[in-house]
Amino acid sequence: MIDFSILLHHLGLASVGILIFMTLAFGVAQLRQRYDTADIAWGLGFVVVACLSLLTGQQSWRGLLTLALVSIWGFRLATHIYLRHRNRPEDRRYQDMRAKWQSNVALRAWLQIFLSQGVLLLLIAFPIVVINTSISSSITIFDVLGVLVWTVGFVFESVGDAQLSSFTSNPANKGKLMTSGLWSYTRHPNYFGEITQWWGIWLLALSVPYGLLAIIGPLTITILITKVSGVPLLEKAYAGRPDWEAYKKRTSVLVPWRPIR
């Protein structure tokens, strides 16, 4: 069993790294005059934590595997969001924040957008730090399950995003709902995929000391997406539309399930 203070030390190093990274991201956002740059930085921040905690912790095969999985997810998500934002105005959420704040906009954006996301990021990434604090043991059933669960999540998120991008890029679909492909089994396949991937990373952490404590990571992303900023915001935006209400009645909200006919 490792000393808990060592884990706290590595968590502190990761915190400093994220503080620097999110501040740099804020600087880029200021130059671009787009605070939705934070959405692009989100996935990349986890790659920063994975790299930093691996370099300052125990260089093990499990840590390298975690870095690979997190990097695949983080770079794909950042690229997807960048391409989605390209040639479009700043995301409406951030425009509304600017209008609401009126004064001290830059300071409030740094604190309430970038640093607050950094705190959430650290909570979600806690399993990564736990994994990189310990010398890896031999492969366990949790490692196998973790990779399998992560793969399921990655497929749902990446395929769901690709299907939605293809649908919305067709002018004939303007104003219509995406209800085919993975979207016929869950109203939010991308969110289901993101949550599932972090439960997969947590399963990898169960093979090392304090792995059970690392459950704070997947719990945070699950609550964040299902109760705070993900599913509730989108569901509210479409509420009342006849086509949405019909889609809602026949399609599972998050966990994929066969449509109700």
**pLDDT value at 42 more than 90:** yes
How much is the pTM? 0.92
Could you tell me if residue 258 is inside a domain? Answer: no
Query: Using an 8 Å Cβ cutoff, are 249 and 260 in contact?
Result: yes
Cα–Cα distance list, 12 to 18, 28, 58, 193, 224 (Å): 10, 25, 16, 29, 23
Question: Is residue 24, in this structure, part of any structural domain at all?
Answer: yes
Q: Which residue has the tokens 């009645």?
A: 249
What is the per-residue pLDDT for 82? 94
- Say yes or no to pLDDT of 1 above 60: no
Averaged confidence pLDDT in the chain: 93
3-class secondary-structure state, position 232: helix
* Residue carrying structure tokens 């001290």: 104
Q: Give residues with Cβ within 8 angstroms of 103, minimum separation 6.
A: none
pLDDT of residue 2: 64
Query: Would you say residue 261 lies in a domain?
Result: no
93, part of any domain: yes
Q: Which amino acid is at 85?
A: H
Neighbours of 69 (CB within 10 A): 22
Per the domain annotation, does 42 fall within a domain? Answer: yes
pLDDT of residue 259: 87
Structural domain for 199, as ranges:
4-250
Beta-carbon-side half-sphere exposure of residue 56 (alpha carbons within 13 Å): 21
pLDDT for 88 equals 86
pLDDT value for 72: 97
Judge whether 91 and 85 are in contact, CB under 8 Å. Answer: yes
Sign of the CA dihedral running 73, 75, 77, 80: negative
Contacts of 173 (CB under 8 A, 6+ apart): 167
pLDDT tens across 63-97, in order? 999 999 999 999 999 999 999 888 888 888 888 89
Q: Does the residue 35 lie in any domain?
A: yes
Q: What's the average model confidence in pLDDT over 175-180?
A: 90
Q: What integer pLDDT is reported at residue 230 of this predicted model?
A: 86
Contact 66, 204 (CB under 8 A): yes
Which pLDDT tens digit goes with each residue over 106-158?
A: 999 999 999 999 999 999 999 999 999 987 678 999 999 999 999 999 999 99
Q: Looking at residues 150-177, what average pLDDT do you find?
A: 94
230 domain-assigned: yes
Considering its fold, how many domains does the chain have in total?
1
Is residue 256 situated within a structural domain? no
- pLDDT at position 109, please? 94
Distances (CA, A) of 127 to 42, 62, 117: 17, 12, 17
